[in-house]
Structure 1
Amino acid sequence: MKIFVVGDIHMGMNGFDKLPALAEDDLLILNGDLTNFGGRDEASQVLERAMSITPNVLAQFGNLDRPEVNDYLDERRINLHGQARLLPGPLAVAGVGGSNQTPFRTPSEFTEEEMLQLGTTACLKAQQLIGEANEQGAERLPLLLISHTPPYETAVDRIHSGAHVGSTAIRQLIETFRPDLCICGHIHEARNTDRIAETRIANPGMLATGGFVRIIYEHSQLHMELL
């Protein structure tokens, strides 16, 4: 099974053309900023373009998506924000959308306390799903964290000035729950990889510039490529 993660789409749907062909059981995850200050109509356009590639799509909103996008993704039953899912494999995925507070007062921002609460809820649910699968005889299950905002003070949250603007809450979630991988976005210029303890982190940058992450899941291990 392969998982492709893209983010910071900003209505730039031509970026989907840069993805390789997906197999029938592959999954595509849209990690926030589907639109530019858009709502459900704009998000619907992006989602339909993504689903023309594969029907297997999960998504969450970013800070430049209006809150109604979160409701729309809930209605479509593909939302990751503040939630967790058990994917085929099996493996668990937890999501945190929106962003921490910015100087720009974008539509979907949260305090660090709110982000920590949302992320904790999602990660605890993921742990519950992992525990239930283990009781049924599954091998060790990995945890994948999808966060629109990067963790603070890493190679993936640095803006052009050199300042770190990521989320302390996301960093705390990684340190507490120790996911195998964390895929983030939000800071376009911080396309990079990093590590917090044993958690590997990747920010693929904007989809329009061709950035995406490919995750291959085999033998209970997640193998990540930044492409």
Structure 2
Amino acid sequence: MKILAFSDVHGDLNYLKEVYRKSKKENPDIIICAGDMLNFWEYNNKIKNSLDNFDKKILLIHGNHEDEKLINKLCSKNIINIHKKIFEFNGLNFVGYGGGGFEQEDKRFERFINKIKDKLKKWILVTHAPPFNTHLDLVFDRHVGSKSIRESIEKFNPELNICGHLHENFNIRDKIKSTRIINPGPSGEILKL
């Protein structure tokens, strides 16, 4: 499967144009946005119109710059909010958890993952926050990511964790056990499974 992943566009149409061009060139099976599509809780019709031009399924979650209600306004038949949901596509379960980005422990996330743990086979975790103690959460020589996300990755072994939030770490990759972790940034990256 070929995935086009991106995050942290913050309402910048130029980034969405880059992602659109990559989509046309690479022909991914699915597109994933790991949060912060919009900027500071401002709904933007131009963003909605741009997303509607993609001819692929787009799965997204909210980040810390918008809430779930705003993300739901962007949704349509092919644009799907997967926050606290499982979306099955081509034999893979995409599990989304948006928002946050600043808490190292998130009991709501832990409860959500434990509630769906029986469905966590051949799955991809999409979060806005990066997992703790990786190259993706290192800011000024300090790890600031989510311990809850890291523990869930260690326990339930997703194929991949697509995250965002920390602009300092765009296009950075790491691994926890066998799980690949990536912050694709706003220009997007092609990932193959």
TM-score in terms of structure 1 length = 0.73
Match of 1:65 in 2: 66
Give the secondary structure class of the aligned counterpart of 2:142. coil
Deviations 1:15-45 (A, max 9, x none): 1222321577721112100111125x32x53
Match of 2:162 in 1: 183
1:95 deviates by 0.9
Match of 1:38 in 2: 41
Indicate yes or no: 2:138 matched with 1:158.
Answer: yes
Letter in 2 for 1:16: L
Q: Is the 8 A contact 2:105 2:146 kept in 1?
A: no
The alignment's C-alpha RMSD in Å is 2.5
Indicate yes or no: 2:125 matched with 1:124.
Answer: no
Distance 2:33 2:82 in 1: 10
Distance 2:119 2:74 in 1: 19
Structure 1 residues 199 and 143 mapped into 2: Cα distance closer, same or farther (>3 Å)? same
Q: Which of 197, 202, 205 is residue 177 of structure 2 equivalent to?
A: 197
User: Radius of gyration: which is bigger?
Assistant: 1
Structure 1 residues 179 and 18 mapped into 2: Cα distance closer, same or farther (>3 Å)? same
Give the secondary structure class of the aligned counterpart of 1:144. strand
Unaligned runs of 5+ in 1: 103-109, 131-141, 217-221, 223-227
TM-score in terms of structure 2 length = 0.85
Q: Is the 8 A contact 1:100 1:115 kept in 2?
A: no
Q: Is the 8 A contact 2:67 2:99 kept in 1?
A: no
Q: Which of 79, 86, 89 is residue 88 of structure 2 equivalent to?
A: 86
Match of 1:219 in 2: none
Give the secondary structure class of the aligned counterpart of 2:155. helix
How many residues of Structure 1 are paired with residues of Structure 2 in the alignment? Answer: 188
Distance 1:45 1:172 in 2: 38
Give the secondary structure class of the aligned counterpart of 1:78. strand
Distance 1:63 1:125 in 2: 29
Match of 1:149 in 2: 129
Match of 1:4 in 2: 4
Match of 1:115 in 2: 109
Match of 1:28 in 2: 31
Q: Is the 8 A contact 1:184 1:201 kept in 2?
A: yes
Q: Is the 8 A contact 1:37 1:66 kept in 2?
A: no
Deviations 1:42-74 (A, max 9, x none): 2x5323312312242111110110342254367
